């Protein structure tokens, strides 16, 4: 019979215990969020994702993040849905490959 899963504690550099976590969707971030809680790390979910379209998908992801934050009692920051700024910055990069210039721009904008 296999041993039950035991989560390893997550150490933060310098002994810090607080994190601002950018999240685009709760299912992807969920395991990290649970591991941080189990490690005694305080975190705040930061939701800033003007790159997510259409608006219905954006709202679905935001609501799931809010639900997760409420379930685990963690703070949630809802940043602006700055869609026009996103499209302005992405103009001309429509055909940029994955991990290319458009991705770099997106990370720079959101982080």
Question: What local confidence, expressed as pLDDT, does residue 1 receive?
Answer: 61
> What pTM was computed for the model?
0.84
pLDDT tens figures, 76-90: 999 989 899 999 999
Checking if the pLDDT of 3 tops 80, the result is no
Tokens found for residue 79: 């940043």
pLDDT category, 105, cuts 50, 70, 90?
confident
Q: 19-76, pLDDT tens digit by residue?
A: 999 998 877 888 889 899 999 999 999 999 999 999 999 999 999 999 999 999 999 9
Structural domains in the chain, sorted by start: 18-110 (3.40.50.620)
**Residue 103: band (very low, low, confident or very high) from pLDDT cuts 50, 70, 90:** confident
CA separation for the pair 81, 46 (Å, rounded) = 12
Burial of 31 (0-12, 13-18, 19+ CB in 10 A): exposed
């Amino acid at each position: 019979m296999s041993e039950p899963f035991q989560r390893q504690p997550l150490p933060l550099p310098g002994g810090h215990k607080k994190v601002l976590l950018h999240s685009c969707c709760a299912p992807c971030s969920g395991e990290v969020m649970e591991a941080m809680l189990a490690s005694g790390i305080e975190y705040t979910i930061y939701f800033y994702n003007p790159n997510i379209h259409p608006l219905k998908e954006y709202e679905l992801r935001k609501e799931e993040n809010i639900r997760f934050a409420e379930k685990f009692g963690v703070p949630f920051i809802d940043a602006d849905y700055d869609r026009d700024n996103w499209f302005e910055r992405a103009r001309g990069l429509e055909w940029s490959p994955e991990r290319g210039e458009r991705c770099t721009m997106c990370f720079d904008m959101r982080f």
